[in-house]
A and B are shown apart, each in its own frame.
Chain A
Amino acid sequence: MAGKIKITIDGKEIEASPGEKILWAALDNGIYIPHLCAGRDHHPPSASCRLCFVEIEGYPQPVTSCTQEVTGGMVISTRSERLDRIVGTGFEMIMTNHLTDCKACPKNRSCELQKIARERKFRLKPPRLPRLDRELPVDDSADGIKHDPNKCVLCGHCIRACREKGAGVLGFARRGFERVVTTFNGAPLGESGCNSCTACTLVCPVGALTLKV
């Protein structure tokens, strides 16, 4: 194919388009790299979930594959002791802050966190760190949408979807550990101007924004 370049991921030689990010090249070729916040059309990438780390030959530190462009002849690995440790710790931290109630969750079996845990053999309830629950109120004021911020992983997909397809009422607020996805002034979704397009529920990788049943 014209204009394509060759890279190696985990010993497998694959073709990628110049300028493409490693994450998408890998996923397109059946190589899984954990990720929550990345999107193909995100410019610049959010790079906030910190789960898609890979190692590249010649680079001293692991890099996030959602931000790193491929170059010809690049030799990449998605697994190593060092990578497993960083990604494992990141995942563990997210899980301590994610209400893990899988059996009662509508996202059970289609949850991105379950997928990462399965692929990388991580535990959904890691024993090393204590839980960091925030016990925020669940918002089911909008037609058709239920928002449980205790499950949110702050990937930002819903905010993007709401701006592109919906009424654009969602956004990030507060800082540090208090950071949340919310509406203007923290109004309940039903009073925020939300038009119940449910685009947010389609992109939420976990069970934070779900269709009301």
Chain B
Amino acid sequence: MSNKNASPALEQLRDQAIKNRASLEGKTLILVGTATCGRAVGALDVVRVFREEIERLQLDAAVIEVGCMGHCYAEPMAVIYKPGEPGICYGYLNEGIAARLPQDYLVEGDPCAEFALAAMEVHEYIPTFQDFPRGLIEQKAVMEHCGYIDPENIENYLAVGGYGSLAAALDRNPSEVIGEIKDSVLRGRGGAGFPTGLKWEMCGGSQEKTRYVICNADEGDPGAFMDRTILESNPHLVIEGLAIAAYCAGAAKAYFYVRAEYPLAVERIKKALQQAEKLGIIGKSMLGTKYSLDIEVFQGSGAFVCGEETALIASMEGEPGLPRHRPPYPAVAGLFGKPTVIDNVKTLSYVPLIIKNGAGWFRSIGTEKSPGTAIFALAGKLVNTGLAEVPMGTTLSQIIYDVGSGIAGNKKFKAVQIGGPSGGCLPEETLDTPVDYESLSKAGAMMGSGGMVVLDEGDCMVEIARFFLDFTQKESCGKCTFCRLGTKHMLDILERITKGEGRPEDINLLLELAEDVRAGSLCNLGKTAPNPVLSTLRYFRQEYDAHINEKRCPSLMCKDLIAYYILPDKCERSCDACVGSCPVEAIFSNEDRIKVINQEKCVKCDSCLVACPPQYRAVIKVSPPDEVLRREKGVK
């Protein structure tokens, strides 16, 4: 199949792209991150203001919308490259700051260091990202160009060497390329960690002529947004990986399965595909070779279970998105019964890098059994949320404290939830666990797709377990007995416990049901659904016991087990902030003008606690609720 003319053809395209970029030389470039994370906090307004100011000041500058660099906590962000100066990255922008920067920096030459987050190269008095603690740990492979190139302009990607790996692959035999991937020990980043090369080989070696390749971008774990960010920031990288996978598997048709809740990702992939087809990189006789590939975008309708590969296939066939029994595995009989390779967005993103830099390069990163990097979406009670790409084997504490800068609001760390609804909660004593497939499973969580939600002392672990089980119960397709009814029974027990109606025998019942649901369920959604319960029971048993035996929520989170109380010695008396904030008029003044909460009226909405001025902090939460009575009696 190889005829060695793809690389020269690509060379021409790249030269043209670099030539076209020359028009930007001498211009000031303003790169604004407009991935979903940026848009959520007003990045599009920032873009508009920059454009207006440049127009008004008649500057020779271009505003370019890019993706996300991973520093989502500081969005909206912009990098300004002024000719002759190192680029400066500004964070926490708003319309006001954006209106100042062109005048102050571009016209008057003041780089406004007070708004600068980091410099892109060594700068006199602004630190670079490499000077951050996370700079020492992070190793950007997949995310190297995320946030630096225009995802809607293929020439940006070509100029940084994009599609070179596809051309190189097309000039080799599929078996050679599969050999390289197998040699790299790349494992599926969707969660299970199956060797990617092996999967391709199974599909490519099939007798069946019609084969399919699908990129699974049906990311649905609460708190996970890695796939979305990659697709929005560098869609061509994923397309290149998908095309190489299709070439290796011998498929003439490939699909992106993206959930419809990611409209920007869908838009950017579609645009990227059109551009790649126009240049002859994808489509008929790709890059002048005999190989043709058609790539189509398929939008999922939002069912979490459709991230499971057999359910994903069923939904693409027009059937309800329900899982099927495996085996046969999709690589043997998948979409329309034909051999099908299904790979996660991140898995495919590594493929062009491995072809470009070699299997040895990939193996030199990370651990022996889990080589390469891991991409985590940091969410929850962290100072710096966002995306982190670190070598496999980095410890959890390095990710949480060095990359994420620790816990927000001076609170204490309690647990980190890894792997979404299929994963588990790991406590402080496990923070030395290196992140790789085996270590995380051993600790009671799993690699999953890479969601990492950090919880602090104010999070009740029973409530967290209940939340995740509520999620799986709602997202269960209802096909098999254990997932449909088992998760429902488990959820009912957890609800009972969070309401203070738990019974001592509930813990054993939960453990028994968890084990049986794990053993009996049809697909991995059901098999892994008990994990949040099992891991919290393993590490936070004392919280369950407090709920059941003392009707007390140690984290003061479960509504039915807490009460609000105003400390008489701290109440300022003449301040009526809490009274005004209460929506149900439950707060009154006693004869000493101290505020008191009528517990029967109180709806536990938290308004008074928020309203009480920080210099008093008179409103507290207590658990169990009858603690209020004890305190009131003690006072009188």
Contacts and interface: CB of A to CB of B under 8 A. Distances in A.
Interface of A: 44-51, 53, 61-62, 64, 67, 85-86, 89-90, 93-94, 96-97, 128-130, 132, 154, 172, 174-179
Contacts of A47: 324-325, 480, 522
A48 B479 contact: yes
Contacts of A62: 519
Given A47-B325, A53-B520, A175 B476 contact: yes
Contacts of B478: 154, 174-179
A50 B320 contact: no
Interface stretch (B264-272, B292-300, B483-491, B532-540): B483-491
B80 interface: no
A132 B325 contact: no
14 contacts: A47-B324, A49-B481, A50-B522, A61-B519, A62-B519, A89-B482, A89-B520, A90-B481, A90-B516, A93-B482, A176-B474, A177-B478, A177-B488, A179-B478
A176 B520 contact: no
Given A48-B522, A176-B477, A128 B482 contact: no
Nearest to B526: A50
Contacts of B492: 130, 132
B260 to A, nearest CB: 17
The 5 nearest A-B residue pairs measured at CB: A179-B478, A93-B485, A89-B516, A47-B325, A176-B476
B173 to A, nearest CB: 34
Given A86-B516, A176-B488, 8 more contacts: A49-B481, A67-B325, A85-B516, A89-B482, A89-B486, A93-B481, A154-B484, A179-B478
B347 interface: no
A154 B322 CA distance: 14
Contacts of A48: 479-481, 522
A96 B485 contact: yes
B513 interface: yes
Contact of A93 (B324, B325, B479, B489): B489
A129 B473 CA distance: 17
A205 B27 CA distance: 76
A154 B474 CA distance: 18
B472 to A, nearest CB: 9
Contacts of A46: 479
A15 B513 CA distance: 37
Given A62-B519, A129-B489, A90 B476 contact: no
B475 A176 contact: yes
Contacts of B303: 175
B113 interface: no
Contacts of B349: none
